[in-house]
Amino acid sequence: MNGLQPIDTLIEAKWIIPVEPAGIVLNQHAIAVDQGIIRDILPVSEAKLRYQPWQTITLNDHVLIPGLINLHTHAAMTLMRGMADDLPLMEWLHQHIWPVENRHVNAQFVLDGVQLACAEMIKGGITCFNDMYFFPESCAQAVISSGMRAAIGMVVIDFPTAYASDADDYLAKGLQLRDQYQHPLLSFCFAPHAPYTVSDNTFRSILTYAEQLNVPIHTHLHETQDEIRLSLQSSGVRPIERFQQLGLLSPDLIAVHMAHLSDHEIKLVHQYGCHIAHCPSSNMKLASGLAPIAPLLNQGVNVGLGTDGAASNNRLDMFEEMHLAALLAKAISGHADTLPAHQALQMATLNGARALGLAKITGSLTIGKAADITAVNFSDLNLTPCYDPVSHLVYTASREQVSHVWVNGKMLLQDKELTTLNPVELQYRAAYWYERITATSQH
């Protein structure tokens, strides 16, 4: 016996950025992975003396970071990417997105769309996403087949669709789905669409279930000035005040967008411990507004990053969201030290895990957590030289430099090649839905 401890995998890299503790960059270190769990993080020289891995992966030009967490998306809408661009939100929804959904969205559409989205996200270093869409059982199936981690949205909306007939039907189907899928890579959120599509009574029902089951509530909130104006007309208060009256403001709330907030509302968000999913690309593309991220962060609010759906972004690209979030925060605040690179990376990883209640499992490279790891190759000419790998991740690198991805210790991307999903099959299914959607839109 050589006295070395057997493990599944040793991943050696030029740099490791664990995110916890904050601000740390480890040089020439390795991550020891066994049975899907991070067992150790230590210098490469020490790792060779301590462990006997079944496989060693040496990444001499790479940085290892926690898998990126996409805190808000509608994954199946990847099949509608670029379908109705350069339009304001309500026109985009009412005249383009909802009519197509009414005609085409079914369980197979969602299965195909989510698999396509999973492939894009894995290739971009995303290991976990928080979804909101119809036929969530198809989303769950697609996620399991991809090997990713996801929070599945139990979607609720107050009008009938092909998925459900009324709010009670949405809730019943969501709860049944949660009972049916007890899977280690899946968690669940209640996903009421928005204040303008969900009634007070429905929100009360959701809150009751959420408190009983200890499940987060994931909803769009304060996305546009139109939403706020409609709320003032219908209920006499702004949406966030309505949420306060209903008891929805809490550490279980993931409020998406939050582009229009007064100073008082920022304090409310902090007071109640709500989480925010900041989606800068989507907010800019739909001209919805820009969230006051610097004041929120100054108050200590937990802010994660999301891409929104590919129909309104049009990329499921968390590198882009980190980059834009950091630049916009500086431009809006007038201070170049606002939202530094380390904080942007934390927003794209640990903060998302905290919002989803998954921080004990994922979000940082920490001993005892799941081995959800993304490797980024810094050997490209446009990444040379590298004085600060965290700065490079946020301001220079792109998702095209992602080379390897692991979830729960399983490699989903190896040297840029997907291991669980078939790109040819995904392209075939995307072409099938393109033909169907364009055929009906021409009539």
Per DSSP, the residues of 60-128 read: EEEEEEEPEEEEEE-GGGGGGTTSS-S--HHHHIIIIIHHHHHHH-SHHHHHHHHHHHHHHHHHTTEEE
Below-70 pLDDT ranges, the chain? 1, 441-443
CA distance 252 to 48: 43
Q: What would you report as the CA-atom Rg of the chain, rounded to the nearest whole angstrom?
A: 21
Q: What is the pLDDT of residue 248?
A: 98
Q: What is the pLDDT of residue 421?
A: 98
Q: What is the pLDDT of residues 162-218, one digit of tens each?
A: 999 999 999 999 999 999 999 999 999 999 999 999 999 999 999 999 999 999 999
Asked if 59 and 375 count as a contact pair (C-beta separation under 8 A), the reply is: yes
Under DSSP, the state recorded for 264 is H
**Strands 126-131 and 149-156, sheet pairing:** parallel
Q: What is the pLDDT of residue 442?
A: 59
Tokens of 421: 């999903």
Sign of CA dihedral 161, 282, 441, 116: negative
Q: What is the pLDDT of residues 78-122, one digit of tens each?
A: 999 999 899 887 888 889 998 999 999 999 999 999 999 999 999
Residue with tokens 């899946």: 186
Domains of the chain, each with CATH number or no CATH: 5-66+370-408 (2.30.40.10), 68-355 (3.20.20.140)
| pTM across the whole model | 0.98
CA distance 254 to 182: 22
Q: What angle do CA 267, 332, 352 make, to 5 degrees?
A: 60
Q: Is the peptide bond before 314 cis (omega within 30 degrees of 0)?
A: yes
Provide the CB-side half-sphere exposure for 97 (13 A, CA): 22
CA distance 210 to 299: 26
Q: What is the pLDDT of residue 221?
A: 98
Q: What is the pLDDT of residue 88?
A: 81
The region that residue 19 occupies, defined by phi over 0 for left and psi between -120 and 50 for alpha, beta otherwise, is left
Q: Compute how many other C-beta atoms are within 10 angstroms of the C-beta atom of residue 105.
A: 23
CA–chain centroid gap for 123, Å, is 14
